[in-house]
Chain A
Amino acid sequence: MKPLLSLAALLLAAAPALAQESAQVARGRYLATAADCGACHTAPGGQPFAGGLPIGTPLGEIVSTNITPSQAHGIGGYSLEQFSRALREGVRADGANLYPAMPYPSYAAMTDEDVAALYAYLQEAVDPVEDSPPPTELPFPFSVRASMTGWNLLFLDDDRFTPDPGHDAAWNRGAYIARALAHCSTCHTPRNALMAEDGTRALAGASLGTWYAPNITSDPVAGIGGWSAEALKRYLATGHSGEGAQAAGPMLEAIDKSLGKLTPGDMDALVTWLRDVPPVSEGAAPGRVAQAAPASADLALMAGTAPEGAQLYADHCATCHQPTGAGGNGLPPLLHNAALLHPTADNAAMAMLDGVWPEHGQSMPAFAGVMDDAEIATLTNWLFAGFGDAGVQLDAARVAELRAGGAPSPLIGLARTGVAVAGAVILLVLLGLAFWLLRRGRRRA
């Protein structure tokens, strides 16, 4: 009954504005948020669901489409069956394949009832926008949409979600949200050589090229097994755990646009499931954690003899985070901050480069234009040594990669695009395979 209770809570909260909305449409509205449709299908400053957000991939930009009920430009002409096929199988009404920037492999788990609700919401409650964003124009061979059929054969698991009778309703609801809607594994599960998620290491943490999606299994050291349920809920709802962890980058975007808007019941369910994810112990930091903040270096700073890291900290960080790293007034403490206990320093460096920009509440400015690569590296290493895990360091070359948008890893872009890149890489493999088969066939003949 949890889902129904959650829905009732949502309806109650939204009652004045949506008094006339049917229960099905209201449910669809909520699902669109939980599945974060608008994140990609709305351009910055653009009309809701009118598309036009260019999603950068190493293969070129994939432009999100208009999914408003416009007949000419959107999905106004789609039947429920056509919509369902697009959503869960990645095939448009005209038969063309979608690129897996659209996370249909995750949405494939969605129930028929939810697909119908989402359809009802998009058709009935969204204003049609009579305009098309520019088409996606990937270079050949990626421009051949039909080739996605092969990728789908290999990797599209179109099983609908089925509850696990060994667990209660809340656990199953959480599993459904995580898999069919929020698609946590897209970022947090490491991938194998063919860029497919490695199910044996589910949610054990992976780099997105720039940001690092940490281990969120129940392992108490490498994962989040040590977090209280309350801290997890606070984190997923607000971006701040209240216990030394705060979201930034793509996770913060997911919280602001989607996870933070889950009903309390769904949040409880998600956390129930998340805390039960089988532990994977990989991805733990070395554990050389400082017990206390470095002693105040005031005299050395005034004399100009402080280490460069301490000097950079004083110049850029200490005013807000305090000389001791204690934070305060709502600003995060740095001593034992979760970002400084990861097995990689990437997230700390990324936060400095890009800043941290929640929709609500205090932001942290970006320092990309203020510090060079060597300075960011020196400061990051000083922070890890003094406030976090001294065994984790990075160098200026890595900062340069982060600044440039990541190492030349095909996983870049996954943070918001789902499996676009993986799809493209697999596509390459399949095309190569096809070419090889074709040649072999010719040789035979």
Chain B
Amino acid sequence: MADTLSADVVVVGSGICGSLAARKLAREGASVLMLEAGPRIRRDDIVRAFRTSPRKGDLIAPYPYSSLAPHPDYHPEDNGYLLQQGPYPYKPEYLRVVGGTTWHWAAQAWRYLPNDFRIRSLYGVGRDWPISYDDLEPYYHEAEVLMGVSGPVNNGSPRAKPFPMEPVAPSYLEQRLMTRLAPEFEVITNTTARNSRAYDGRPACCGNNNCMPICPIDAQYHGGLAADAAEAAGVTLIPQAVAYKLEHDESGRITAVNYYDWDKVSHRVTAETFILAANAIEIPRLLFLSASDRFPDGLANSSGTLGRNLMDHPSSSITFNVDEDVWPGRGPQSPASIQKLRDGDFRSEHAPFRIDFSNSSRVTSITEDLIKAGYFGAALERELRARTAREISVKNVLEQLPDPDNRVMLADEKDALGLPKPLFSYSFDDYVHRGMAASRTAFERIAELMGGTDIRHSPEGKYSNNQHITGTLSMGADPADSVTDAVGRAHDHENLYMASTGVMPTVATCNSTLTGVALALRSADAILGRV
């Protein structure tokens, strides 16, 4: 034990949720110390790594990796950080760097629908949240102003105040989709944390189509900016600090967090209040690692639900060639969605979903496909030009219900610091499969309306995921079946809060970041005695 640091508040994790909660507390005068397992990174270093990467399609490749704060990586092969118990592998991607995983996203910043908070009451499935949409609405707005969110108002989520800016101008592909799918499907511009005008010292999007792996001009908000804002507000940030154990006193109050620096020297930090702001995998891991005689199953786990109810958004997709040139690859990568299947009485029968159009450049993947198919020379160039103008991909973002058997645990195998790796048990139920079937019907209709040819469905029963890791720290009114209360505080520890998408009890049909940030800002208000 080298030293002991101290602060009013310690935040573990410098991602977008932790950083914005830390910033808010620091601005109210609290001394805040933020620990980050990973290193500091710079935008230009990531741009450089991407430009020189031979694997442009691997969106994790440009980010630095360290075995001391490992993140999962599946290319060119699985690096074995996340271990699988099955039956279905759960293979999320995330980053462990200052600013966290939103360095690398398409900035979709959706609010939940009001009904998403009450699916047990309304549809007899899943669980209700301990709070309502109205409880979260002001915090959604607070998050939207901080992150510079724009979007259309007809997105299903009512709002008390306008977006801080107009939606980003629709790309040509988006305009064609809007026109040709109407009136059967209303296509709307996505709600995104992407500037449509200069905002907060950052320029408007100029359509580099580079959102993932890195926006080269910060037109898109990300956690690195949130961490900068936290430091500007007075937060002390310690990178390369891997938290591995929390301590508590007789009453269960958390007294300290211990971390290893990258020389594996241990440090101890005491504080009045602790906020765990890593993701929904690394937080349960830390709480399991902190098991004590008093809490043998891990901290914050008297309910036995810690790490359970793991959810993400399983996705299937359809790829086809439109009967006209639509030029995907110009403008933001994720421009537009279809909302109408996000909610309805059908939710008692099958999973709801949002249909999401990709506008990513298809050049890399089509080139690979064509070369595999034996094209070369002039024929390769001709076919590449033809297909890149017309091939589009559409996916769903589908709600998976909380299932206690979907869970993250500790493996026997350890990482380079000697800390057990995460281990998953995971599967999909028929609610998901039935939703996928409904989605396939919608996909086929969309392909038909767009004059689609060479229609390719993603493999049946095999779903990709969206790194919207939720549920493992579920908030609930009843301490017997939830980890955290309605403000994200551990039922078992009065001074331990979670600022993470892990507290979300259901995953709904939209990207989890904005809701995670809104909840984190609300938790900060609770710490300040305002909720």
A436 vs B427: C-alpha distance when bound (angstroms): 93
Q: Which residues of A contact B203 (CB under 8 A)?
A: 355, 357, 362-365
Which of A301, A320, A330 sits near B208, CB closer than 8 Å? A320
Contacting B206 at CB < 8 Å: which of A302, A311, A314, A362? A362
Q: Does A398 sit at the interface, judged by CB under 8 A?
A: no
B42 lies within 8 A of A319 (CB): no
Collect the chain A residues with CB atoms within 8 Å of residue B208's CB: 319-320
Which residue of chain A has the shortest Cβ distance to B210 in the bound complex? A319
A376 to B210: give the CA distance in the assembly, Å.
24
Contact partners of B48 in chain A: CB under 8 A: 311, 314-315
If the complex has contacts A357-B198, A363-B198, are A316 and B44 also in contact, measured as CB distance less than 8 A?
Answer: yes
**Within A349-378, which residues are at the interface with B (CB < 8 Å)?**
355, 357, 362-366, 370
The verdict on A292 contacting chain B, using a C-beta distance below 8 Å, is no
- Contact for B217 among A319, A329, A357, CB less than 8 A: A319
Is B76 part of the binding interface, using a Cβ–Cβ cutoff of 8 Å? no
Complex Cα gap A319–B203 (Å): 14
Contact with B along A274-318 (1 / 0, CB 8 A): 000000000000000000000000000110000000011011101
| A contact residues around B207 at 8 Å (CB) | 329
Interface size class of A (residues with CB under 8 A): 20 to 34
Q: How far is the CB of A365 from chain B (nearest CB, A)?
A: 5
Contact indicator B204/A363 (Cβ below 8 Å): yes
B333 CB to nearest chain A CB (Å): 14
Q: Which of A315, A320, A331, A355 has the most CB of B within 10 A?
A: A315
B154 to A: closest C-beta gap in Å: 26
Q: Knowing A319-B208, A362-B206, A365-B203 are in contact, say whether A370-B44 is a contact too (CB < 8 A).
A: yes
* B202 close to chain A: CB less than 8 A: yes
**Chain B positions 197 through 226: 1 when the CB is less than 8 Å from some CB of chain A, otherwise 0:** 010011110111010000011100000000
Cα distance, A312 to B43, chains bound together (Å): 12
Contact A302 B44 (CB under 8 A): no
Asked if B45 is at the interface (CB within 8 A of a chain A CB), the reply is: yes
Once the chains bind, are A320 and B198 in contact (CB under 8 Å)? no
By a CB distance below 8 angstroms, the chain A residues around B52 are 301-302
Known contacts A301-B52, A331-B206; A365 and B218 CB within 8 A of each other: yes
Contact, CB under 8 Å: B43 / A319: no
Interchain nearest-CB distance for B81 vs A (Å): 28
In angstroms, Cα B52 to Cα A311, docked, is: 11
User: A317–B198 Cα gap in the complex (Å)?
Assistant: 18
Q: A363-B198, A365-B217, A366-B201 known; A315 and B45 CB under 8 Å? A: yes
Interface residues of A in 97-126 (CB under 8 A from B): none
Residues in B whose Cβ lies below 8 Å from that of A318? 51
Q: How far is the CB of A414 from chain B (nearest CB, A)?
A: 25
B206 touches A370 (CB 8 A): no
B47 within 8 A of A: yes
A302 contacts which chain B residues (CB < 8 A)? 52
- Kindly supply a per-residue 1/0 record for chain B positions 82-96, scoring 1 wherever the CB is within 8 Å of any chain A CB and 0 otherwise: 000000000000000
Q: Contact check, B206 vs A301: say whether CB atoms are below 8 A apart.
A: no
Contacts of B218 in A (CB 8 A): 365
Docked pose: A301 CA to B44 CA in angstroms:
14
B255 CB → nearest A CB, Å: 37
Which residues of chain B have C-beta atoms less than 8 A from A315's C-beta?
44-45, 47-48, 51
Q: Known: A301-B51, A331-B206. Contact between A370 and B42, CB under 8 A?
A: yes
Q: Which residue of A lies closest to B205 (CB)?
A: A362
The complex places the Cα of A320 from the Cα of B210 at a distance, in Å, of 11
Smallest CB separation, A329 vs chain B (Å): 6
A311 to chain B, nearest CB (A): 7
CB distance from B254 to the nearest CB of A (A): 35
Q: Mark B178-207, 1 if CB is under 8 A from A, else 0.
A: 000000000000000000001001111011
Q: Flag if A314 contacts B202 (CB, 8 Å).
A: no
Give Cα A311 to B47, complex, Å. Answer: 11
For the complex, what is the distance from the CA of A362 to the CA of B201, rounded to whole Å? 13
In the bound complex, CA of A314 to CA of B53 (Å): 13
- Kindly provide the distance from the CB of B218 to the nearest chain A CB, expressed in whole angstroms: 6
Chain B residues with CB below 8 A from A363, complex form: 198, 203-204
Query: Most B CB atoms within 10 A — which of A319, A329, A357, A370?
Result: A319
Instruction: Report how far A294 CA is from B201 CA in the complex, Å.
Output: 31
Q: When chains A and B are docked, how far (Å) is the Cα of A318 from the Cα of B216?
A: 10
| Complex CA–CA separation, A186 to B104 (angstroms) | 47
Residues of B contacting A370 in the complex (Cβ-Cβ under 8 angstroms): 42-44
Residues of chain A within 8 A of B43, CB atoms compared? 370
Bound-complex Cα distance A363 to B199 (A):
10
Task: Report whether A314 and B217 are in contact in the complex, using a CB–CB cutoff of 8 Å.
Answer: no
B125-167 CB mask vs A (1 if < 8 Å, else 0) is 0000000000000000000000000000000000000000000
Shortest C-beta distance, A306 to chain B (Å), equals: 10
List which B393-448 residues lie within 8 A (CB) of chain A. none
Contacts of B210 in A (CB 8 A): 319
Complex: A349 Cα to B217 Cα, angstroms: 18
1/0 contact string of B10-43 vs chain A (CB within 8 Å): 0000000000000000000000000000000011
Identify 6 residue pairs between A and B in the complex whose beta-carbon atoms are under 8 Å apart, listed by A's number. A316-B44, A319-B208, A320-B206, A330-B206, A363-B203, A365-B203
B residues apposed to A, CB below 8 Å: 42-45, 47-48, 51-52, 198, 201-204, 206-208, 210, 216-218
Pick the 7 closest A-B CB pairs, nearest first.
Answer: A363-B203, A315-B44, A319-B216, A363-B198, A302-B52, A315-B48, A365-B203
A residues sitting closer than 8 Å to B (CB atoms) are 301-302, 311-312, 314-316, 318-320, 329-331, 355, 357, 362-366, 370
Given contacts A320-B208, A366-B201, A370-B44, 8 further A-B contacts (CB under 8 A): A301-B51, A301-B52, A315-B44, A315-B45, A319-B210, A319-B217, A357-B203, A363-B204
